[in-house]
Chains A and B, each alone.
Chain A
Amino acid sequence: MVETTRRGFASIRFLRTYGTVVAGLLIVLVFAVLSPDSFASLDNAINISRQISFLVIIALGATLVMSVGEFDLSVGAVASFGGVLSAKMAVAGYPIPICMLAPLAASLIIGFVNGWIVTRFRVLSFITTLAMGTILGGLNFKLTGGATVFENIPDSFRYLGQTEWGGLPLLSFLMLFMTVLFWYVMAHTPFGRKLYAIGGNESASRIAGVHVARNKNAAFALCAMLAALTGVLMASRLGSAHPTAGDGMFLSAYAAAFLGMTSFKEGIPNIWGTFVGAAIIGILANGLTILEVPTYMQDVITGCIVISAVLSQKLGRERKR
């Protein structure tokens, strides 16, 4: 009797920690059964890994900012901005590496300004970054005149987005590299520890000598940089940049991060959780498209999955008490 209860608790604990991963695997299984030829193929797996690379990278940034207890609602607009800026620079004839790097540098500054306004003047990050997103949205239209930038872009602009190594997209490698890098930063460096401490208890962190403002600014800056990188990669993939190309990414990025909070480290934003969250969203989009489910229904299903993941975690916790 005692044994079974203990085992019962252990399994609840397992589900709380890995429930989202299990759910993700179940989704894969369902699609594989429903569509054995198209979904469950190596080509499609590679395809998915490329499709989710954008979402993973932008969601990593969202996770950083969430780990200090803030939000950055400008990530979508920053992504669009990154794409537009790199494409415009490519058209203007700047060397391609510069076209790729300049948006990252510019976005570091944008993110830092976000952080500075939040920490220096104690403005809610919600408001600050919403406004920053609006400003950039306008700027993106100004830069492009509202049209897609695609003429006179040199072929080498597409290198990052279209190169494959041994049949695998460079984008997928980049995504994995970024995930591992930021996992390492968050889990094994003093900087990551400080970010989590600030998110856990800002006042206690300040008293323990952590420079709260400085570290928060860094989180905002890195978040914006990752968003801009996403935009650059999307532009490179398509060989063109639209002024609103990244805008829609912002909701999915947070959906991924919230899904991620339900796995591995319960209730705490974490890198691998975000990766899993983004993967689930990407797999759903891919599988549902293959099954010819209309896009609007995909949104409905994705939303439902986020809500049920968060709910199921809450239920598990109540049983614990």
Chain B
Amino acid sequence: MALLEVVRLYKTFGPHYALSDVHFDIMPGEVHGLVGENGAGKSTFIKIVTGVYAPDSGKLVWQGNPVAIPGPDAARRLGINVVHQDRHLIPSFTGYENLFLGLDYPRKAAGMRVDWKAMRSRAKRMAEEFGVALDMSKPAAHMSPPEKTMLEILRAMMLDCKLLILDEPTASLTDREAERLFMLIRQLTEQGTAVLYVSHRMEEILRLSDRITVFQNGRSMATVGRPEASKDRLITLMSSAGAMKSQALVKAVQVGEPLLEAKGLSTTDGKVRDIDLTVRQGEIVGLFGLAGSGRTELLETLYGLRDKAGGEVRFRGRRVAAASPRDSLDQGVVLIPEERKRDALVMDMTIRENMTLPVLKRFSGWWKMRRKAELAEARRWMEDLKVKAAGPEQTVGELSGGNQQKVVFARALLSSPVLFLCDEPTQAVDVMTREEIHRLLRDQADQGCGVLFVSSDLQEVLDISDRLYVLHGSRIAAELDNRDVTPEQVLAICYSQGKESELRHG
């Protein structure tokens, strides 16, 4: 009997299907791989199984009985636990304190004092049972990444855990560290725990999994046994049906002078390594990479938000020493940040105030703001970009996502930019706005601007770019002229780079 059977699961967010007709099953004691591109629905699925979201329709059958999982607590009681890539540990707590987080601490007879001794010995027994060599009295902050992962897995095992979901568990581990984790996973499955292993790393998936389920665009495409699985087969299943070739508007791009040239660019934190890249006038350059490949960090470094450790950046042939956002703006470089709420807009302020924030000087003497000129300018841009709002004095926080993004673009255009650094500029906006943003960027490129375009939607990158770079492990893995490039090709680059780059800096 299957441990968990997923039957025709559907989930929508607004007009989009996040999950559509998802069905597969997980057997007790197996390692079940789950793969799919960014946004294929893996996270949504995990959230449904752990009770964070409720599905719109479909059912989950747990050990033969249909179950509802109304919340994370219910999932834990059933025996479903998840270990995320962003760790949920309290840094200042020791290993065993973290182990008991959310559980009742063992008490001494009177019921008041915590029985630390019992806690420690229980923690020690857990570690021994699963063959984990880990100093439990060390604070989590002093543990290495794999130790933290192990600790989280042990915590999941504190309650009777039948299904353990590991979400990109090796993302921050080196090969040797990952081996320790794999040993632990084998231990768990021998004891009958099923593991749902979610990862971008094909080698791991192919090595560990008994069976592998592939998601594509919210659908479960197939479940294949390990003997029949190969990297090529999985990648074909993952990439969008109809093998849409790049639809980049076939036009003779009048590529001009290089606007931006980076050579050997690196940051101190290693999120950007040895990047060589060029953006010329009149072209849209795509930048694709899987989650954590350093896309955002690269844009932030170019914009002057991160400290450079090495390499150089030239803008219109002139070397840029230590840029700050102000310098970048003054030179005509604008950043459309990924996190609109966090990094782009001041939600309490009006449309007008948000639009003119980078160019206040233009609307002021040394002392007084010229509000009329400011208002007129804001109105003009609202009309130009068709921002739907009560007027320039409406608070930005009251607008829809698409209209907020238009305000972000209007602000960018106000500083007469020559280079756009766009980080997921169409994320969480409606289809119409998405089209408008694409058109706007194309227009700007036609007028001689350069655009560096990051998206985790591969199809979008292929549709809009003239040329594209594929990022992997903070480095550029490939540069492709966007002619007849297929999603398979790009994904193959993303997934095949795994091992070598790991060895190079592991």
Residues of A at under 8 Å CB distance from B?
A: 188-190, 193-194, 196-197, 200-201, 203-211, 267-268
Contacts and interface: CB of A to CB of B under 8 A. Distances in A.
Contacts of A268: 348
B345 to A, nearest CB: 6
B475 interface: no
Nearest to A196: B349
Nearest to B364: A190
Contacts of B335: 207
A108 to B, nearest CB: 19
B504 interface: no
Contact of A209 (B342, B346, B358): B358
A197 B325 contact: no
B346 A190 contact: no
Given A193-B353, A210-B357, A204 B346 contact: yes
B329 A190 contact: no
A190 B369 CA distance: 6
A204 B343 contact: yes
Nearest to A200: B346
Nearest to B342: A203
Contacts of B342: 201, 203-204
B231 interface: no
B171 interface: no
Contacts of B328: 209
Contacts of A193: 353, 357, 360, 369
Contacts, number: 70
A209 B357 CA distance: 8
A211 B326 contact: yes
A200 B305 contact: no
- Chain B interface residue bracket vs A: 20 to 34
A197 B305 contact: no
B361 interface: yes
Please name the 9 residue pairs, one residue from A and one from B, whose CB atoms are nearest each other, closest first: A200-B346, A190-B360, A209-B329, A208-B357, A201-B346, A209-B326, A209-B358, A208-B358, A190-B364
Looking at chain B's contact residues, the main secondary structure is helix
A124 B343 CA distance: 21
B349 A207 contact: no
Contacts of A209: 325-326, 328-330, 357-358
Nearest to B370: A188
A269 B218 CA distance: 46
B341 to A, nearest CB: 8
B28 interface: no
B32 interface: no
B325 A206 contact: yes
B347 A201 contact: yes
* Best-surrounded residue of A189, A196, A200, A267 (most CB of chain B within 10 A): A200
A267 B347 CA distance: 13
A207 B344 contact: yes
A201 B404 CA distance: 15
* Best-surrounded residue of A189, A203, A207, A211 (most CB of chain B within 10 A): A207
A216 to B, nearest CB: 15
A145 to B, nearest CB: 44
A188 B326 contact: no
22 contacts: A188-B368, A188-B371, A189-B368, A190-B360, A193-B357, A193-B360, A193-B369, A194-B357, A196-B349, A197-B349, A200-B349, A203-B342, A204-B346, A207-B303, A207-B335, A208-B357, A209-B325, A209-B326, A209-B328, A209-B357, A209-B358, A267-B348
